[in-house]
Amino acid sequence: MAACVATGLLLTACASYQPLPLSERAPGGMTVEAGSLPFPALAAHRFDPDDGLDIVEVAMLAVVNNPDLRVARSDAAVAHAQAFAAGLLPDPQLALSGDLNNNAGPSASKAYSLGLSYDVTSLLTHPALHRAADREAEKVDLTLLWQEWQVVSQAQLLFVKLSEGRRIQAVLTATRDLYADRLSRMRAALAQGLLNSDAVTPNLVALQDVERQLFDNGKLLNQAAHDLNALLGLAPDTVLALQDGGEPGMPDAALVQSALDALPQRRPDLRALQSAFAAQDQRYRAAILAQFPALSLGFTHARDNSFVVSNGVGINLSLPFFNRNRGNVAIEQATRQKLLDDYQARVQAARNDVHRILQEQALNTAQLDRVEHDLVELKQQLARSDSALRTGNADVLLYVSARSALLAKEMERISLQQAVLEQRIGLRTLLGIDMTRLESTTP
Protein backbone atom coordinates (compact mmCIF):
# COMPACT_ATOMS: atom_id res chain seq x y z
CA MET A 1 0.00 0.00 0.00
CA ALA A 2 2.81 2.42 0.89
CA ALA A 3 4.54 1.68 -2.42
CA CYS A 4 1.35 2.50 -4.32
CA VAL A 5 0.99 5.81 -2.47
CA ALA A 6 4.62 6.74 -3.15
CA THR A 7 4.22 5.84 -6.83
CA GLY A 8 1.09 8.00 -7.05
CA LEU A 9 2.85 10.99 -5.49
CA LEU A 10 5.74 10.64 -7.91
CA LEU A 11 3.40 10.50 -10.89
CA THR A 12 1.52 13.64 -9.81
CA ALA A 13 4.84 15.55 -9.79
CA CYS A 14 5.63 14.59 -13.39
CA ALA A 15 5.08 16.89 -16.35
CA SER A 16 2.16 16.16 -18.64
CA TYR A 17 2.04 16.32 -22.43
CA GLN A 18 0.62 19.43 -24.05
CA PRO A 19 0.12 19.46 -27.84
CA LEU A 20 1.52 22.36 -29.89
CA PRO A 21 0.01 22.68 -33.38
CA LEU A 22 2.43 23.39 -36.23
CA SER A 23 1.22 26.58 -37.88
CA GLU A 24 2.51 29.53 -39.90
CA ARG A 25 3.10 32.77 -38.01
CA ALA A 26 1.24 35.78 -39.33
CA PRO A 27 3.33 38.88 -40.22
CA GLY A 28 3.95 41.24 -37.32
CA GLY A 29 2.10 44.50 -36.84
CA MET A 30 3.18 48.09 -36.29
CA THR A 31 2.98 47.91 -32.51
CA VAL A 32 5.76 47.88 -29.92
CA GLU A 33 5.61 47.17 -26.20
CA ALA A 34 8.39 49.45 -24.97
CA GLY A 35 8.81 47.57 -21.69
CA SER A 36 9.82 44.38 -23.56
CA LEU A 37 12.77 45.99 -25.32
CA PRO A 38 16.27 44.93 -24.17
CA PHE A 39 17.89 48.37 -24.56
CA PRO A 40 16.89 51.18 -22.13
CA ALA A 41 17.32 53.86 -24.80
CA LEU A 42 14.91 52.01 -27.09
CA ALA A 43 12.39 51.57 -24.30
CA ALA A 44 12.53 55.30 -23.51
CA HIS A 45 11.88 56.36 -27.12
CA ARG A 46 8.30 57.15 -28.12
CA PHE A 47 6.95 54.81 -30.81
CA ASP A 48 4.39 56.49 -33.07
CA PRO A 49 4.20 55.12 -36.63
CA ASP A 50 1.42 57.56 -37.60
CA ASP A 51 3.90 60.35 -38.39
CA GLY A 52 6.40 58.00 -40.08
CA LEU A 53 9.18 55.95 -38.55
CA ASP A 54 12.45 57.54 -37.54
CA ILE A 55 15.69 55.59 -37.34
CA VAL A 56 15.12 54.60 -33.68
CA GLU A 57 11.52 53.49 -34.25
CA VAL A 58 12.69 51.23 -37.06
CA ALA A 59 15.18 49.67 -34.64
CA MET A 60 12.46 49.22 -32.01
CA LEU A 61 10.19 47.44 -34.46
CA ALA A 62 13.05 45.22 -35.63
CA VAL A 63 13.89 44.02 -32.12
CA VAL A 64 10.24 43.15 -31.44
CA ASN A 65 9.25 41.57 -34.76
CA ASN A 66 12.40 40.10 -36.31
CA PRO A 67 11.76 36.37 -37.03
CA ASP A 68 15.39 35.33 -36.47
CA LEU A 69 15.34 36.92 -33.01
CA ARG A 70 12.28 34.85 -32.12
CA VAL A 71 14.25 31.72 -32.97
CA ALA A 72 17.27 32.98 -31.00
CA ARG A 73 15.08 33.60 -27.95
CA SER A 74 13.79 30.04 -28.22
CA ASP A 75 17.41 28.85 -28.33
CA ALA A 76 18.08 30.83 -25.15
CA ALA A 77 15.11 29.13 -23.47
CA VAL A 78 16.54 25.73 -24.46
CA ALA A 79 19.95 26.67 -23.01
CA HIS A 80 18.39 27.69 -19.70
CA ALA A 81 16.41 24.44 -19.62
CA GLN A 82 19.67 22.54 -20.19
CA ALA A 83 21.31 24.48 -17.36
CA PHE A 84 18.39 23.55 -15.12
CA ALA A 85 18.73 19.90 -16.13
CA ALA A 86 22.47 19.97 -15.44
CA GLY A 87 21.81 21.20 -11.92
CA LEU A 88 19.66 18.20 -11.04
CA LEU A 89 21.29 15.32 -9.22
CA PRO A 90 20.99 11.85 -10.80
CA ASP A 91 18.33 9.58 -9.33
CA PRO A 92 19.20 6.47 -7.31
CA GLN A 93 18.51 3.05 -8.82
CA LEU A 94 16.04 0.64 -7.21
CA ALA A 95 16.13 -3.06 -8.16
CA LEU A 96 13.34 -5.47 -7.21
CA SER A 97 13.13 -9.19 -8.02
CA GLY A 98 10.83 -12.00 -6.93
CA ASP A 99 10.78 -15.81 -7.21
CA LEU A 100 8.07 -17.19 -9.55
CA ASN A 101 8.83 -20.83 -8.67
CA ASN A 102 5.82 -22.49 -6.97
CA ASN A 103 7.36 -25.99 -6.63
CA ALA A 104 9.54 -25.44 -3.58
CA GLY A 105 7.16 -27.25 -1.24
CA PRO A 106 4.49 -26.23 1.25
CA SER A 107 6.97 -25.03 3.86
CA ALA A 108 8.94 -22.85 1.46
CA SER A 109 8.50 -19.11 1.09
CA LYS A 110 8.60 -16.78 -1.88
CA ALA A 111 12.15 -15.58 -2.45
CA TYR A 112 12.75 -11.93 -3.27
CA SER A 113 15.56 -9.39 -3.51
CA LEU A 114 15.58 -5.62 -3.05
CA GLY A 115 18.53 -3.39 -3.91
CA LEU A 116 19.22 0.35 -3.83
CA SER A 117 22.32 1.77 -5.56
CA TYR A 118 23.76 5.15 -6.47
CA ASP A 119 26.46 6.32 -8.88
CA VAL A 120 28.83 8.16 -6.57
CA THR A 121 31.13 9.27 -9.41
CA SER A 122 28.39 11.51 -10.80
CA LEU A 123 28.54 13.55 -7.58
CA LEU A 124 32.23 14.19 -8.22
CA THR A 125 31.73 15.74 -11.67
CA HIS A 126 28.32 17.30 -11.02
CA PRO A 127 29.49 20.72 -9.70
CA ALA A 128 31.82 21.31 -12.67
CA LEU A 129 29.20 20.24 -15.21
CA HIS A 130 26.59 22.42 -13.51
CA ARG A 131 28.88 25.45 -13.68
CA ALA A 132 29.60 24.65 -17.33
CA ALA A 133 25.87 24.61 -18.11
CA ASP A 134 25.37 27.94 -16.32
CA ARG A 135 28.20 29.53 -18.31
CA GLU A 136 26.74 28.06 -21.50
CA ALA A 137 23.39 29.68 -20.70
CA GLU A 138 25.21 32.98 -20.14
CA LYS A 139 26.87 32.56 -23.53
CA VAL A 140 23.52 32.02 -25.24
CA ASP A 141 22.03 35.09 -23.53
CA LEU A 142 24.98 37.24 -24.63
CA THR A 143 24.82 35.82 -28.13
CA LEU A 144 21.14 36.76 -28.23
CA LEU A 145 22.01 40.27 -27.05
CA TRP A 146 24.65 40.57 -29.78
CA GLN A 147 22.15 39.31 -32.37
CA GLU A 148 19.64 41.91 -31.18
CA TRP A 149 22.38 44.52 -31.47
CA GLN A 150 23.12 43.32 -35.01
CA VAL A 151 19.44 43.51 -35.96
CA VAL A 152 19.28 47.09 -34.65
CA SER A 153 22.35 47.94 -36.73
CA GLN A 154 20.97 46.25 -39.84
CA ALA A 155 17.63 48.03 -39.46
CA GLN A 156 19.39 51.38 -39.19
CA LEU A 157 21.58 50.60 -42.22
CA LEU A 158 18.51 49.74 -44.29
CA PHE A 159 16.82 52.91 -43.03
CA VAL A 160 19.78 54.95 -44.27
CA LYS A 161 19.89 53.07 -47.58
CA LEU A 162 16.19 53.69 -48.19
CA SER A 163 16.32 57.33 -47.10
CA GLU A 164 19.37 58.17 -49.19
CA GLY A 165 18.07 56.12 -52.11
CA ARG A 166 14.88 58.13 -52.09
CA ARG A 167 16.93 61.33 -52.13
CA ILE A 168 18.79 60.05 -55.19
CA GLN A 169 15.46 59.15 -56.78
CA ALA A 170 14.18 62.67 -56.17
CA VAL A 171 17.29 64.24 -57.75
CA LEU A 172 17.05 61.93 -60.76
CA THR A 173 13.32 62.58 -61.15
CA ALA A 174 13.81 66.35 -61.09
CA THR A 175 16.60 66.09 -63.67
CA ARG A 176 14.53 63.73 -65.83
CA ASP A 177 11.59 66.15 -65.76
CA LEU A 178 13.88 69.01 -66.73
CA TYR A 179 15.35 67.08 -69.66
CA ALA A 180 11.91 65.85 -70.74
CA ASP A 181 10.47 69.37 -70.72
CA ARG A 182 13.42 70.74 -72.66
CA LEU A 183 13.24 67.85 -75.15
CA SER A 184 9.54 68.46 -75.70
CA ARG A 185 10.15 72.12 -76.44
CA MET A 186 13.10 71.32 -78.70
CA ARG A 187 11.06 68.82 -80.69
CA ALA A 188 8.38 71.46 -81.16
CA ALA A 189 11.03 73.88 -82.41
CA LEU A 190 12.41 71.13 -84.69
CA ALA A 191 8.97 70.60 -86.17
CA GLN A 192 8.75 74.33 -86.90
CA GLY A 193 12.16 74.28 -88.55
CA LEU A 194 13.77 76.45 -85.90
CA LEU A 195 16.32 73.77 -84.91
CA ASN A 196 18.10 70.92 -86.61
CA SER A 197 18.24 67.33 -85.34
CA ASP A 198 21.81 67.70 -84.10
CA ALA A 199 20.60 70.12 -81.44
CA VAL A 200 18.02 67.62 -80.17
CA THR A 201 20.26 64.54 -79.91
CA PRO A 202 22.39 65.57 -76.86
CA ASN A 203 19.28 66.29 -74.80
CA LEU A 204 17.68 62.99 -75.87
CA VAL A 205 20.79 60.98 -74.93
CA ALA A 206 20.98 62.73 -71.53
CA LEU A 207 17.29 62.00 -70.89
CA GLN A 208 17.72 58.32 -71.73
CA ASP A 209 20.73 58.07 -69.42
CA VAL A 210 18.82 59.63 -66.52
CA GLU A 211 15.87 57.30 -67.12
CA ARG A 212 18.26 54.33 -67.01
CA GLN A 213 19.64 55.56 -63.68
CA LEU A 214 16.08 55.96 -62.39
CA PHE A 215 15.28 52.33 -63.19
CA ASP A 216 18.54 51.08 -61.65
CA ASN A 217 18.01 53.08 -58.47
CA GLY A 218 14.37 51.97 -58.33
CA LYS A 219 15.49 48.35 -58.33
CA LEU A 220 17.88 49.05 -55.44
CA LEU A 221 15.10 50.80 -53.52
CA ASN A 222 12.75 47.86 -54.11
CA GLN A 223 15.38 45.44 -52.79
CA ALA A 224 16.08 47.59 -49.72
CA ALA A 225 12.36 48.02 -48.98
CA HIS A 226 11.75 44.25 -49.10
CA ASP A 227 14.85 43.57 -47.03
CA LEU A 228 13.64 46.00 -44.38
CA ASN A 229 10.14 44.51 -44.36
CA ALA A 230 11.63 41.03 -43.92
CA LEU A 231 13.91 42.25 -41.13
CA LEU A 232 10.97 43.90 -39.36
CA GLY A 233 8.77 40.82 -39.78
CA LEU A 234 6.21 42.78 -41.82
CA ALA A 235 4.16 41.72 -44.83
CA PRO A 236 6.15 42.04 -48.07
CA ASP A 237 3.74 44.60 -49.54
CA THR A 238 4.04 46.96 -46.55
CA VAL A 239 5.03 50.49 -47.57
CA LEU A 240 6.94 52.21 -44.76
CA ALA A 241 6.84 55.97 -44.30
CA LEU A 242 10.25 57.09 -43.05
CA GLN A 243 11.04 60.38 -41.37
CA ASP A 244 13.83 62.55 -42.69
CA GLY A 245 16.75 63.44 -40.45
CA GLY A 246 17.61 61.86 -37.12
CA GLU A 247 20.89 60.45 -38.34
CA PRO A 248 23.30 58.90 -35.82
CA GLY A 249 26.00 61.28 -34.66
CA MET A 250 29.70 60.55 -34.71
CA PRO A 251 31.08 59.49 -31.31
CA ASP A 252 33.88 61.79 -30.21
CA ALA A 253 37.49 60.65 -30.13
CA ALA A 254 37.63 60.26 -26.33
CA LEU A 255 34.63 57.92 -26.24
CA VAL A 256 35.95 55.92 -29.19
CA GLN A 257 39.29 55.39 -27.45
CA SER A 258 37.76 54.46 -24.08
CA ALA A 259 35.34 52.06 -25.77
CA LEU A 260 38.20 50.53 -27.76
CA ASP A 261 40.26 50.02 -24.60
CA ALA A 262 37.34 48.28 -22.87
CA LEU A 263 36.15 46.39 -25.95
CA PRO A 264 36.16 42.88 -24.40
CA GLN A 265 33.92 44.11 -21.58
CA ARG A 266 31.52 46.02 -23.88
CA ARG A 267 30.86 43.80 -26.87
CA PRO A 268 28.23 41.10 -26.18
CA ASP A 269 29.81 38.68 -28.67
CA LEU A 270 33.21 38.95 -26.96
CA ARG A 271 31.59 38.45 -23.56
CA ALA A 272 29.77 35.44 -25.01
CA LEU A 273 33.12 33.97 -26.06
CA GLN A 274 34.42 34.56 -22.54
CA SER A 275 31.45 32.62 -21.13
CA ALA A 276 31.98 29.86 -23.69
CA PHE A 277 35.62 29.59 -22.63
CA ALA A 278 34.63 29.44 -18.95
CA ALA A 279 32.09 26.71 -19.73
CA GLN A 280 34.67 24.70 -21.63
CA ASP A 281 37.16 25.14 -18.80
CA GLN A 282 34.63 23.52 -16.44
CA ARG A 283 34.02 20.66 -18.88
CA TYR A 284 37.79 20.13 -19.02
CA ARG A 285 37.85 20.07 -15.23
CA ALA A 286 35.00 17.53 -15.19
CA ALA A 287 36.87 15.31 -17.66
CA ILE A 288 39.92 15.34 -15.37
CA LEU A 289 37.76 14.43 -12.37
CA ALA A 290 36.21 11.61 -14.40
CA GLN A 291 39.67 9.95 -14.58
CA PHE A 292 39.10 8.60 -11.09
CA PRO A 293 37.64 5.06 -10.98
CA ALA A 294 33.88 5.01 -11.46
CA LEU A 295 32.31 4.13 -8.12
CA SER A 296 28.78 2.90 -7.46
CA LEU A 297 27.50 1.99 -3.99
CA GLY A 298 24.49 -0.23 -3.28
CA PHE A 299 22.59 -1.84 -0.47
CA THR A 300 20.70 -5.13 -0.83
CA HIS A 301 18.10 -6.96 1.20
CA ALA A 302 17.10 -10.48 0.16
CA ARG A 303 15.22 -13.56 1.36
CA ASP A 304 15.44 -17.04 -0.11
CA ASN A 305 12.67 -19.63 -0.21
CA SER A 306 13.83 -21.14 3.10
CA PHE A 307 13.19 -17.89 4.99
CA VAL A 308 16.90 -17.02 5.22
CA VAL A 309 17.23 -13.21 5.15
CA SER A 310 20.44 -11.48 4.13
CA ASN A 311 21.58 -7.86 3.99
CA GLY A 312 24.63 -6.62 2.15
CA VAL A 313 26.60 -3.77 0.70
CA GLY A 314 27.75 -3.73 -2.95
CA ILE A 315 30.54 -1.74 -4.50
CA ASN A 316 31.16 -1.44 -8.25
CA LEU A 317 34.52 0.04 -9.11
CA SER A 318 36.02 0.44 -12.56
CA LEU A 319 39.69 -0.41 -13.00
CA PRO A 320 41.51 2.36 -14.86
CA PHE A 321 43.94 0.19 -16.78
CA PHE A 322 43.29 1.15 -20.43
CA ASN A 323 40.94 4.08 -20.95
CA ARG A 324 41.22 6.27 -17.84
CA ASN A 325 39.12 8.88 -19.71
CA ARG A 326 42.28 10.12 -21.40
CA GLY A 327 40.51 10.57 -24.74
CA ASN A 328 37.87 12.91 -23.31
CA VAL A 329 40.50 14.87 -21.40
CA ALA A 330 42.46 15.43 -24.62
CA ILE A 331 39.30 16.48 -26.50
CA GLU A 332 38.18 18.95 -23.83
CA GLN A 333 41.68 20.41 -23.49
CA ALA A 334 42.01 20.93 -27.25
CA THR A 335 38.54 22.46 -27.41
CA ARG A 336 39.42 24.90 -24.66
CA GLN A 337 42.55 25.97 -26.57
CA LYS A 338 40.49 26.46 -29.74
CA LEU A 339 38.02 28.71 -27.89
CA LEU A 340 40.92 30.77 -26.54
CA ASP A 341 42.31 31.18 -30.06
CA ASP A 342 38.85 32.13 -31.38
CA TYR A 343 38.48 34.77 -28.69
CA GLN A 344 41.87 36.32 -29.31
CA ALA A 345 41.27 36.38 -33.08
CA ARG A 346 37.84 38.01 -32.64
CA VAL A 347 39.21 40.74 -30.37
CA GLN A 348 42.02 41.52 -32.80
CA ALA A 349 39.63 41.57 -35.77
CA ALA A 350 37.30 43.94 -33.91
CA ARG A 351 40.13 46.37 -33.17
CA ASN A 352 41.28 46.24 -36.78
CA ASP A 353 37.74 46.93 -38.03
CA VAL A 354 37.45 49.96 -35.76
CA HIS A 355 40.70 51.45 -37.05
CA ARG A 356 39.69 50.77 -40.65
CA ILE A 357 36.32 52.51 -40.25
CA LEU A 358 37.91 55.50 -38.53
CA GLN A 359 40.32 55.98 -41.41
CA GLU A 360 37.59 55.49 -44.01
CA GLN A 361 35.43 58.01 -42.16
CA ALA A 362 38.21 60.60 -42.30
CA LEU A 363 38.72 60.00 -46.03
CA ASN A 364 35.01 60.21 -46.80
CA THR A 365 34.61 63.38 -44.75
CA ALA A 366 37.50 65.03 -46.59
CA GLN A 367 36.09 63.91 -49.93
CA LEU A 368 32.65 65.19 -48.97
CA ASP A 369 34.10 68.63 -48.19
CA ARG A 370 35.72 68.66 -51.62
CA VAL A 371 32.44 67.63 -53.29
CA GLU A 372 30.59 70.46 -51.57
CA HIS A 373 33.18 72.91 -52.95
CA ASP A 374 32.88 71.38 -56.43
CA LEU A 375 29.08 71.65 -56.34
CA VAL A 376 29.30 75.40 -55.87
CA GLU A 377 31.52 75.73 -58.93
CA LEU A 378 29.37 73.40 -61.05
CA LYS A 379 26.20 75.31 -60.18
CA GLN A 380 27.87 78.54 -61.24
CA GLN A 381 29.08 76.94 -64.46
CA LEU A 382 25.58 75.60 -65.19
CA ALA A 383 24.08 79.02 -64.62
CA ARG A 384 26.55 80.51 -67.10
CA SER A 385 25.82 77.77 -69.65
CA ASP A 386 22.08 78.25 -69.28
CA SER A 387 22.41 81.99 -69.74
CA ALA A 388 24.65 81.54 -72.79
CA LEU A 389 22.24 79.03 -74.29
CA ARG A 390 19.33 81.42 -73.92
CA THR A 391 21.25 84.20 -75.68
CA GLY A 392 22.50 81.86 -78.42
CA ASN A 393 26.14 82.08 -77.35
CA ALA A 394 26.46 78.36 -76.51
CA ASP A 395 25.20 75.10 -78.01
CA VAL A 396 22.99 72.50 -76.35
CA LEU A 397 25.84 70.03 -75.91
CA LEU A 398 27.68 72.42 -73.59
CA TYR A 399 24.59 72.95 -71.47
CA VAL A 400 23.81 69.20 -71.27
CA SER A 401 27.40 68.47 -70.25
CA ALA A 402 27.20 71.03 -67.45
CA ARG A 403 23.85 69.65 -66.27
CA SER A 404 25.13 66.04 -66.37
CA ALA A 405 28.26 66.99 -64.43
CA LEU A 406 26.13 68.66 -61.76
CA LEU A 407 23.87 65.61 -61.54
CA ALA A 408 26.83 63.25 -61.15
CA LYS A 409 28.33 65.43 -58.42
CA GLU A 410 25.00 65.64 -56.52
CA MET A 411 24.71 61.86 -56.59
CA GLU A 412 28.31 61.54 -55.45
CA ARG A 413 27.51 63.78 -52.48
CA ILE A 414 24.47 61.68 -51.50
CA SER A 415 26.48 58.46 -51.83
CA LEU A 416 29.25 59.87 -49.63
CA GLN A 417 26.74 61.06 -47.04
CA GLN A 418 25.23 57.58 -47.03
CA ALA A 419 28.67 56.00 -46.60
CA VAL A 420 29.43 58.32 -43.67
CA LEU A 421 26.16 57.44 -41.93
CA GLU A 422 26.68 53.72 -42.50
CA GLN A 423 30.20 53.97 -41.07
CA ARG A 424 28.90 55.71 -37.97
CA ILE A 425 26.38 52.93 -37.43
CA GLY A 426 29.06 50.31 -38.02
CA LEU A 427 31.45 52.04 -35.63
CA ARG A 428 28.86 52.16 -32.86
CA THR A 429 28.16 48.46 -33.40
CA LEU A 430 31.82 47.47 -33.30
CA LEU A 431 32.52 49.55 -30.18
CA GLY A 432 29.44 48.49 -28.26
CA ILE A 433 28.21 52.10 -28.06
CA ASP A 434 24.49 52.72 -27.64
CA MET A 435 23.36 52.96 -31.26
CA THR A 436 20.00 54.49 -30.44
CA ARG A 437 21.47 57.84 -29.42
CA LEU A 438 21.41 60.14 -32.42
CA GLU A 439 23.58 62.97 -31.19
CA SER A 440 27.35 62.99 -31.01
CA THR A 441 28.12 61.01 -27.88
CA THR A 442 30.42 62.06 -25.07
CA PRO A 443 31.83 59.87 -22.30
pLDDT exceeds 80 at position 260 = yes
Band (438; pLDDT cuts 50, 70, 90): very low
Three-state secondary structure string covering the chain = CHHHHHHHHHHHCCCCCCCCCCCCCCCCCCCCCHHHCCCHHHHHCCCCHHHCECHHHHHHHHHHHCHHHHHHHHHHHHHHHHHHHHCCCCCCEEEEEECCCCCCCCCCCCCEEEEEEEECHHHHHHHHHHHHHHHHHHHHHHHHHHHHHHHHHHHHHHHHHHHHHHHHHHHHHHHHHHHHHHHHHHHHHHHCCCCCHHHHHHHHHHHHHHHHHHHHHHHHHHHHHHHHHHHCCCCCCCCCCECCCCCCCCCCHHHHHHHHHCHHHHCHHHHHHHHHHHHHHHHHHHHHHCCCCCEEEEEEEEECCCCCEEEEEEEEECCCCCCCCHHHHHHHHHHHHHHHHHHHHHHHHHHHHHHHHHHHHHHHHHHHHHHHHHHHHHHHHHHHHHHHHHCCCCCHHHHHHHHHHHHHHHHHHHHHHHHHHHHHHHHHHHHCCCCCCCCCCCC
pTM across the whole model: 0.82
pLDDT exceeds 90 at position 283 = yes
| Of the listed ranges 24-33, 175-184, 434-443, the one predicted with least confidence | 434-443
Q: What is the pLDDT of residue 246?
A: 64
**How far, in Å, CA of 39 to CA of 33, rounded?**
12
Q: What is the pLDDT of residue 212?
A: 95
Q: What are phi and psi of 65, to 5 degrees?
A: -105, -15
> CA dist 366 to 357, 360, 372, Å?
14, 10, 10
Q: What is the pLDDT of residue 287?
A: 92
Q: What is the pLDDT of residue 203?
A: 84
Quickly name the fold that domain 89-119+292-324 has: Outer membrane efflux proteins (OEP) (2.20.200)
Q: What is the pLDDT of residue 216?
A: 96
Q: What's the chain's average pLDDT? A: 85
Q: What is the pLDDT of residue 5?
A: 47
Band (137; pLDDT cuts 50, 70, 90): very high
pLDDT exceeds 90 at position 331 = yes
Average pLDDT over residues 293-313: 84
Average pLDDT over residues 148-177: 93
Q: What is the pLDDT of residue 11?
A: 52
Give me the percent of the chain exceeding a pLDDT of 70: 89
pLDDT exceeds 80 at position 237 = yes
| Of the listed ranges 10-24, 218-232, 239-253, 322-336, the one predicted with least confidence | 10-24
Q: Which CATH architecture has domain 57-88+120-290+325-431?
A: Up-down Bundle (1.20)
**How far, in Å, CA of 166 to CA of 372, rounded?**
20
pLDDT exceeds 50 at position 356 = yes
**How far, in Å, CA of 279 to CA of 343, rounded?**
14
Per-residue pLDDT reduced to its tens digit, 392-429: 776 677 888 888 899 999 999 999 999 999 999 999 88
**How far, in Å, CA of 443 to CA of 426, rounded?**
19
Cβ neighbours of residue 261 closer than 8 Å, sequence gap 6 or more:
none
Q: What is the pLDDT of residue 186?
A: 82
Per-residue pLDDT reduced to its tens digit, 375-399: 999 999 888 888 887 777 766 778 8
| Of the listed ranges 198-202, 274-278, 378-382, the one predicted with least confidence | 198-202
Q: Which of 436, 443, 340 minimizes the C-alpha distance to 54?
A: 436
The ranges assigned to domains in the chain are 57-88+120-290+325-431, 89-119+292-324
